[in-house]
Structure 1
C-alpha cells in the first residue's frame, strides 16, 4: 500500500536556521504535519546521496538532537543528507514520539504516515539515492525508528535504535511505562520483511531498561540461519562495551548490538552541548553511519 499526500499535503517556504547547511521545512498530510530541519552537505557530490532521518528523544528538539549527536558534522564529512523531524507539544506534552499508541504503530496511519511522507518528499525534492535511505532515533525516537522499519521496509534500508524499544512493545501509556522499566510482557511481533538493525543501549539505563534493546534486535531477526561474533572493546574515553554482530549465512541481513557498560540513558559519544549525551563514547553516530552505508536496499531486495 502506498499513501498519497492528498490535498492536505503542504510544504512551507524554506527558511535558513543558524546551522550551516541546514534549512527549516514542514511536511503535512491527512494525519497531521511536522516541522523538520534539513541538513544538506556542501558541494555537488558525485551522484545521488544517502538520506538519514533522525528522530529525537523525549523533551528534545531537532536542533538539540543535531547538536548532541554531531550528525551534521559527520554528514558533511561523508556527503549525507539528514532530516530531523520535530515532535511538537501539541502531539505529546513531553515531545515524545507516540510509539506506544496503536494509532501510531501502523502503515498509512498517524505518525508513521507523516514520517514516511516527509521522507518521500525529501527524496522527491533532492537527489537522494533510494537504495540508501535510513532512520535512527534515541529513546522514544529509537522506538519510533523501530516502528518505521516495521511499517515501511520498502523505504528504509536499515534502522538505528539508541536506548529505544521494539515496535509494538506497548499499546498504551500505562503499558509503555511498565515496558520501559521491565521490557515488553508480550513478545513484539517479528517483521515479515527484516530490516538490518543496529542497537546501542547502556546497561545502567534506568529510563529504558536494556532488555528493550535485546527485544528490538530479536524482533528484527529473520528466520534464517545466522552467524554471530561477539567482541569486547573500550572507547578512547574509557567506556567499555560488548559488540555482537549477527549476519545471515546466505543473505544480506545483518545486525549489530552494542551494550555499553556503565552507561545510562544518553547518546554515546555525543557532544555535551546537547541533552542526553554521554561524551565517553563510543561514537554512536559514526558507527551508525558506518552500519548504514554498508547496507543498501538494492542488496537486500536482491537476496529476497
Structure 2
C-alpha cells in the first residue's frame, strides 16, 4: 500500500513515506513480540503462563534410547525386584527409533495378565497408535492380586519395572501412563499418589480410589470409568453385592478381595482428586451417549479430572466385554464408548510438563 502511494508522489514525499512505513513496521513487530512474550512467560507479578499445547511438549528420551532399538511385536519376559518375581507382556509398535510413550496396564483381582491384555486391548491399540504397553503380573501363591498400600513391595516392584523398561527401551519420560481394571484400578490410583513425579496421567477403570494418605508431588490428571450398577466395586462406595462370591487370595471363601475398595462413592473419589489437583468450583456434567455421563471439573490445563459414569454399567472395561467373567457376576458392558481409545486421547493431551524422573 505504501509503495503504491509513493509512486504517485514526489521522490522526497515517497522517501518520507517509506521511512515512516519502516518505523511503523518495526514498532508493530516489537509490539507483537512483546505481546507474545507476555502471554507465554511467568511475570514478576506472578501471572501464570498459558499452558503449551500437549503436542508441542518435547519428548525426553530415557537412557534406553542409547541402545539398539527393541524389536517390535509382542513378547513375554521375566523380571524380579523388591523380593518379587514375575512376568510382563511387552507390546512394542513398529518405528522405535524415537522415544515412545509407555502405558502400564494392570490386571484385576483373580485375573491373569494375559486376560487383562486381551480384555483391555491396550497392547494391540498401542501397536497401531505408537506406544509401548507393559502388562505385568507378580508370581505369588494363590490368585493374582496387588498390594497397593504405601511403600509396599508390589509398588516397589512396579516402580523398578518401570525403570527397567525405561533403561532397556527408548521411552519418552514425559509420556508414561498407567491404567488398570478393578484391583488394578486401585493400584493405578495408588501409583498416582506414590509415583506422581514420573507418571504423567492415569486411567482407573471400575475402581478409582482416594486414599487418606495420598500426597502427590504434582497434580496428576485422571480419567476414570465406572458403571453405576457395578456389582463388585459399588458405584456408591464399598463392595457390591457380588463381591461375596469372590474367593480369598488362598482360594478359600471370602467376603471380598484383599484390600477392597474404600467406603466413599466413586463421584466423591473423583471430587477428591479434583480437589487435590487444585480444581475449584462444582463439577459439570454432560451426556455423551445415551448411557454415559461425563463429570468434569474446572481444572488447570495439566490437572484435568474426568469421570465417565456408565448408566447401568457393570464391573467391566467399556467397549470390551469380559472374555471370562459371566455377565451375572460382573454386569453389563457398554459399547457406546471405547475406554481404551478415550483414555489414549486423554493421555496424549496430558504429558508431564515439569521435571522428569531419571
The 1-side partners of 2:201 and 2:184 are apart by 15
* Cα distance change on mapping 1:191 and 1:76 into 2, 3 Å: same
Change (3 A) 1:167 1:24: farther
Higher helix fraction (1 or 2): 2
2:106 aligned with 1:55: yes
Quote how far apart the aligned CAs of 1:190 are. Answer: 5.5
Matches within 5 A, 1:11-22: 21-22=73-74
- 2: distance between equivalents of 1:267 and 1:97? 19
Structure 1 pair 223–294 and aligned structure 2 pair: CA distance change class (3 A): closer
Deviation (angstroms), 1:191: 3.6
Deviation at 1:52? 0.2
Contact 2:96–2:170 (CA under 8 A) maintained in structure 1: no
* Structure with a larger share of its residues in strand: 1
Q: Which residue of 2 aligns with 1:241?
A: 292
Q: State the match for 1:30 in structure 2.
A: 82
Please report how far the alpha carbon of residue 34 of structure 1 lies from its aligned counterpart in structure 2 after TM superposition.
Answer: 2.1
1:140-289 alignment runs, 5 A limit: 140-168=183-211, 189=214, 191-211=216-236, 212-221=265-274, 222=276, 224-226=278-280, 228-234=283-289, 240-249=291-300, 251-273=301-323, 275=325, 278=333, 280-289=335-344
Post-superposition offset of 1:47:
1.9
Unaligned runs of 5+ in 2: 1-70, 237-264
Contact in 2 for aligned 1:198/1:288 (Cα 8 Å): yes
Asked if structure 2 preserves the Cα contact closer than 8 Å seen for 1:157 and 1:295, the reply is: yes
Deviation for aligned residue 1:231 = 1.1
Query: Are residue 71 (structure 1) and residue 71 (structure 2) matched?
Result: no
TM-score scaled by structure 2? 0.64
Over 3 Å counting, the alpha-carbon distance change for 1:225 and 1:246 in structure 2 is closer
- 5+ residue gaps in structure 1? 1-15, 169-186
- 1:225 deviation in Å? 4.5
Aligned to 1:178: none
Residue in 1 that maps onto 2:147: 98
Once the two structures are superposed, what CA deviation does each residue of 1:81-120 show, in whole Å capped at 9, x if it has no partner? 0000114342xx3312123xxxx322xx411100011011
Change (3 A) 1:51 1:296: same
Please name the residue that 1:40 is paired with: 92
CA separation in 1, counterparts of 2:224 and 2:110? 21
Residue 307 of structure 2: SS of its match in structure 1? strand
Contact 1:243 1:257 (C-alpha < 8 Å) held by counterparts: yes
Q: Is the 8 A contact 2:299 2:305 kept in 1?
A: no
Question: Secondary structure in 2 aligned to 1:51?
Answer: strand
Report if the CA contact (8 A) 2:185-2:204 is conserved. yes
Alpha carbons of 1:67 and 1:129: their partners in 2 closer, same or farther (altered >3 Å)? same
Cα displacement string for residues 7-33 of structure 1 (whole angstroms, at most 9, x for unaligned residues): xxxxxxxxx9xxx92111122223312
User: RMSD of the TM alignment (CA)?
Assistant: 2.5
* Residue of 157, 165, 184 corresponding to 1:114: 157
Relative distance call for 1:53 and 1:154 in structure 2 (3 A) is same
Q: TM-score normalized by structure 1?
A: 0.75
Q: Relative to 1, partners in 2 of residues 1:26 and 1:213: Cα closer, same or farther, differing over 3 Å?
A: farther
- Please give the alpha-carbon distance, in whole angstroms, between the structure 1 residues aligned to 2:173 and 2:136: 19
CA distance change for structure 1 residues 111 and 272 in 2, over 3 Å: closer, same or farther?
A: closer
266-275 vs 58-67, greater mean Cα deviation: 266-275
Q: Is the 8 A contact 2:310 2:334 kept in 1?
A: no
- Give the length in aligned residue pairs: 251
User: Residue deviations 1:175-208, cap 9 Å, x none?
Assistant: xxxxxxxxxxxx5646453211111000001110
Q: CA deviation at 1:223?
A: 5.7
Q: 1:124 to 1:190 in 2, by over 3 A?
A: closer
Cα 1:124–1:205 shift into 2, 3 Å: same
- Where 1:244 maps in the other structure, the secondary structure is strand
Per the alignment, residue 180 of structure 1 pairs with none
